[in-house]
Structure 1
Amino acid sequence: MCWLYCHRTGIPVIWIGPTQFEGMSAPMFGCADCIAELEHMIWRHFVRKDAPQTPASTR
């Protein structure tokens, strides 16, 4: 089962690492589509982080 966005079952998934919550740990798995979306979100995070910050306009 995909543990990411789609929650589909019966599809190929890969282990993407352990998750931790309140002292408990469980394996996390993702399908190709959800891994692609996660990669896209990570790239957007770094692009925004590295983008020059513009000051807020004053009125």
Structure 2
Amino acid sequence: MEWLWITGDCRLGCERTGVLVIWLGPVQWDGQHASFYACEPCLDRLKAQALACFMERQPASA
């Protein structure tokens, strides 16, 4: 799968503008929708947080 990076605004945390970002999906809140984009450093941080969460849920090795 090829990722499509565009120049835009990071909405994930750093809120930098005019940087390469990738679309993560729509965000819905209170009946409204917005596109959600993240730059590579913020995406890497999100992936690390998700991995840590997944690892916490792993059953202990026998």
TM-score, normalised to structure 2's length?
Answer: 0.78
Listed one character per residue, the Cα deviations across residues 18-37 of structure 1 (whole Å, up to 9, x for unaligned) are: 00001111100000000000
Structure 2, unaligned runs of 5 or more? 1-8
Shift of 1:10: 1.3
Tell me if 1:26 matches 2:6: no
TM-score, normalised to structure 1's length?
Answer: 0.82
Q: How much identity, in percent, do the aligned residues show?
A: 35
**2-side partners of 1:43 and 1:12: how far apart?**
23
Aligned residues: 52
1:13 aligns to what SS in structure 2? Answer: strand
Shift of 1:49: 1.2
**2-side partners of 1:14 and 1:46: how far apart?**
23
Q: In the alignment, which of 48, 53, 56 is matched to residue 56 of structure 2?
A: 48
**2-side partners of 1:21 and 1:15: how far apart?**
17
